[in-house]
Amino acid sequence: MLIVQISDIHCGPMFNGDSFRTAVEEINSLSPDLIVVTGDLTEEGIRAQFLKAEGELKALRAERVIYISGNHDYRSTGYLLFREFFPFNQVTEAGDVVIVVLSSARPDRDDGEVGHRQNLWLEDTLAKYRDWMKVVAIHHHIIPVPDTGADQITIIDAGDVLRSLVRSKVDLVLCGHRHRPWRWMIENMQVVHAGSVSCEKLRGFFHHSYNVIEIKDKKIDAKLKIVGGEYVDFKDVINKREHIKAQTS
Ligand SMILES: [Fe+2]
Ligand SMILES: [Fe+2]
């Protein structure tokens, strides 16, 4: 099972179309089973930007594409538009992998919240998938990410969410929002944060990027791919100082 995670497209004034289209070409050549788009498809949640996002994203080729809303998509009552342009199921089964989406964006707020009821729903839902590989995708980062400055835009109930994820024996969490790729291990759970695939605003890792994740024999191999560039092991993200001077493509 090959999953590609792209995030933080930001159709609007900071959208870099060259990067996005290069990424689409690369991703399509991988023939992924599944693409997960972890939010902020637009900058301001307005209709023209949703139309632009729809036009750009339809170039992606995969058996399934899962769309998740971000805080930027929920600006300007964009939450009403998001569900029209990018409908999705909250639970997707693919082979022996289940992918569950948590909604963390709230209208006109940059921080996020999962909420007690959604946490309970997550635990109940994943209890039915005991022997499956369990992937949870959410827009906001659930733990702070290095090299991103002061962090006031995480989810406000991160502790409760982490407890539900660990209690449910989730194997992999996919987050966006911070525009900085990173990975944390919590117990046996990988928490993979995506950089931005096409927004000019980047933090601490100055390339557009996306994540390529292979799940095989109950093992997860997650790698970072620089758009138009090399694959980078998450262990090496912080050591790659030469990336600081490099231009995004
Ligand atoms: Fe973003
Ligand atoms: Fe965001």
Euclidean distance between CA atoms 210 and 8, whole angstroms? 10
pTM greater than 0.85 (yes/no): yes
Instruction: Measure 10 CA to ligand 1 centroid, in angstroms.
Output: 7
Ligand nearest to the CA of 41: 1
Q: What whole-number percentage of the chain has pLDDT above 70? A: 96
Euclidean distance between CA atoms 65 and 43, whole angstroms? 20
Q: Is the pLDDT confidence value at 248 over 60? A: no
pLDDT digits (tens, 9 = 90+) for 180-199: 999 999 999 999 999 999 99
The answer to which of 25-34, 120-129, 142-151 has the lowest mean pLDDT is: 142-151
Instruction: Measure 121 CA to ligand 1 centroid, in angstroms.
Output: 26
Q: Is the pLDDT confidence value at 249 over 50? A: no
Instruction: Measure 175 CA to ligand 2 centroid, in angstroms.
Output: 10
Return the amino acid letter for 98.
V
How does residue 244 score in pLDDT terms, banded at 50, 70 and 90?
low
Largest CA-CA distance found in the chain, in angstroms, rounded? 48
Ligand nearest to the CA of 105: 2
Instruction: Measure 145 CA to ligand 1 centroid, in angstroms.
Output: 14
Phi/psi of residue 238, nearest 5 degrees: -75, -20
Show contacts of 227-232: CB within 8 Å, 24+ apart.
Answer: 227/19, 227/22, 227/23, 227/26, 227/197, 227/198, 228/19, 228/22, 228/26, 232/181
Instruction: Measure 59 CA to ligand 2 centroid, in angstroms.
Output: 23
Instruction: Measure 40 CA to ligand 1 centroid, in angstroms.
Output: 5
Phi/psi of residue 209, nearest 5 degrees: -155, 170
Instruction: Measure 153 CA to ligand 2 centroid, in angstroms.
Output: 8
Return the amino acid letter for 14.
M
The token duo for 73 is 């998509």
How does residue 84 score in pLDDT terms, banded at 50, 70 and 90?
very high
pLDDT digits (tens, 9 = 90+) for 198-216: 999 999 899 999 999 999 9
Q: Which residues pair with 94 in a beta bridge?
A: 97
Q: Is the pLDDT confidence value at 109 over 50? A: yes
How does residue 2 score in pLDDT terms, banded at 50, 70 and 90?
very high
CB of 166 within 8 A of CB of 187?
A: yes
Euclidean distance between CA atoms 66 and 115, whole angstroms? 21
> Mean pLDDT across the stretch 6-21?
98
Q: What whole-number percentage of the chain has pLDDT above 90? A: 89
Domain range 2-245, CATH class: alpha beta
Bin 210: left if φ > 0, else alpha if -120 < ψ < 50, else beta. Answer: beta
Beta-strand pair 97-102/133-138:
parallel
Euclidean distance between CA atoms 27 and 23, whole angstroms? 6
